[in-house]
Amino acid sequence: MYNLFKPEQPAGLMDFVRAAKSCITEITPAELKAKLDSKEDLLLVDVREAAEFEHGHIDGAHLVPRGIIEAAADTSYPKHYPPLSGARDRQIVVYCATSGRSAMAAAVLQMMGYKKVINLAGGITRWEAEGMPQVREAEY
């Protein structure tokens, strides 16, 4: 993904999101709910920040903020996150608020050798808009 940009070519956030989305697979909330309901083997990763996660997340999701996804996924890093770093061949579904951060996380995981990474289209905002359930640990 990053090879699409040259130092002399300015790039903004949405350029990176578009580049990421051009090389990843996405899933709709209804498709993800069907996978979860059928107990399909997958690792669900929320790449938002802790406060966002506490406000509401998909049941069973692991919190791995976008800012640490590379370290968490790299087994050579001393503080890697075993549920993620050990899932290189598992299906992984990532999501964020609207699908931008998670698209970039999905692209990075693919670059790191993760083979089955899928992004939740529209993120938890679309998930909620379509009436899907959330776990709420804190109300603000």
Asked if residue 2 is part of any domain, the answer here is no
Say which DSSP state 57 is in. Answer: B
pLDDT at 50: 96
Task: Please report whether residue 13 resides in a domain.
Answer: no
Mean pLDDT score of the chain? 92
The pTM of the full predicted model, rounded to 2 decimals, is 0.89
> What is the percent of the chain with per-residue pLDDT over 70, rounded to a whole number?
91
Q: CA quadruple 84, 85, 90, 91: dihedral positive or negative? A: positive
Q: Quick one: tokens of 9?
A: 């070519």
pLDDT reading at 28 higher than 70 = yes
Domain containing 114 equals 24-129
Q: Is residue 11 part of a domain?
A: no
Query: Where residue 46 sits, what CATH number does that domain have?
Result: 3.40.250.10
Q: Which two tokens stand for residue 59?
A: 């049941």
pLDDT of 3 strictly over 80: no
Residue type, 96: C
Rounded distance, CA 76 to CA 58, Å?
29
**Cα(103)–Cα(83) distance, integer angstroms:** 20
